[in-house]
Amino acid sequence: MKKGFTLIEVLVVTAVIGIISIMLVANWTKNESSSKLQRTAQEVVLSIRSAQDIALNSFKSSGQDVPYSYGIRFDKDIDSSYLIFGDKNGNNTYQPSDILIKNVLIESGIEIDSLSSGNNNLNIVFSIPDGFTTINPSSTSASIVIKKSNGICPQDCKTITIMNTGQVSIYE
């Protein structure tokens, strides 16, 4: 009696391993894009908290070029990034003459889908030194919906909501 495997046994085992590998790769790709969406939502929340933290740790002084407040601006026309800024003139809106602290790029494959303001832009501003929240256009809350590129809401979207109390939440 010979020891070893027959050709059929080797082919069956190879086919089973191939099928399992294909299923794993398909699930990995699906989970990767979901992880990207979750990671981006968390980065947006972290950026909002960062702008708030800068405002809380700043102070106003006369004679210096210190902003009235710090904020974050989302622009629907530029759905691949958003800005953290220092508001120099106190109008609670980003303008090119304001201090640009950081242009945050959104991960590839993720985009800003919509803003609750109904406009193309949304400014969330935190005043110095108390960190009071102002949402411009004027509102008691704001939502930023991000989605997977070519995705369909709600399954491919995350909604980041900020209240005028400063509370920030992520929803499916």
Of the two residues 10 and 44, the one the predictor is more confident about is 44
- Which structure tokens are listed for 42? 């968390």
Query: Average pLDDT for residues 134-153, to the nearest whole number?
Result: 90
What is the full DSSP assignment across 91-125? Answer: SSS--TTSEEEEEEEPPTTEEEEEETTSSSEEEEE
| pLDDT tens by residue, 105-143 | 999 999 999 998 778 899 999 998 888 899 988 888 999
Rounded to the nearest 5 degrees, what angle is found at the Cα of 63, between the Cα atoms of 59 and 66? 40
Q: Which amino acid is at 54?
A: I
Which residues, other chains included, contact 94 with Cβ-Cβ below 8 Å and sequence gap of 6+? Answer: 71, 73, 83, 85, 87, 121, 123
Domain 7-171, architecture per CATH: 3-Layer(bab) Sandwich (3.55)
Minimal CA–CA distance to 92: which of 128, 124, 51, 129? 124
Instruction: State pLDDT tens for residues 30-49.
Output: 777 788 999 999 999 999 99
pLDDT band at 59 (very low <50, low <70, confident <90, very high): low
Domain ranges of the chain: 7-171
Return mean pLDDT, the chain: 87
Q: How confident is the model at residue 85 (pLDDT cuts 50, 70, 90)?
A: very high
* Model confidence pTM above 0.85: no
